[in-house]
Structure 1
Amino acid sequence: MKEYKFGNSTVIVHSAIWSMSEEEQTDWVKKETEKGNATLKRIRDAIKDCYRNHD
């Protein structure tokens, strides 16, 4: 679990990935992407959508 504070808000992330080293995280994401992890794809799509020009 990892906790972040943003102003008056607290965000708590429940994920084992936070207990991994940066290298382990990178390897995990790469392996999951290669396996076609649908959740990672949706996260990537959401991030890309945030940076897309919404004219």
Structure 2
Amino acid sequence: MRQRMISFLLSPCLAKQGLSKKEIMRCLKRYIVREVHTALLADFTALNTP
């Protein structure tokens, strides 16, 4: 659900920059990966903190 919201909000902004659909999808996937990576690092840090 959140992914749909992100793509709904960011796609028009990216399209205005003249990006193709393929490039927009690439940007959205990279955004999602950054979010997931940050969440995983936070969880990993919490596990290793005594």
Question: Is TM more than 0.5 here?
Answer: no
The TM-score normalised by the length of structure 2 is 0.39
Q: Which has the higher strand share?
A: 1
Which structure is higher in helix share? 2
Asked which structure has the greater RCO (Cα within 8 Å, sep 6+), the reply is 2
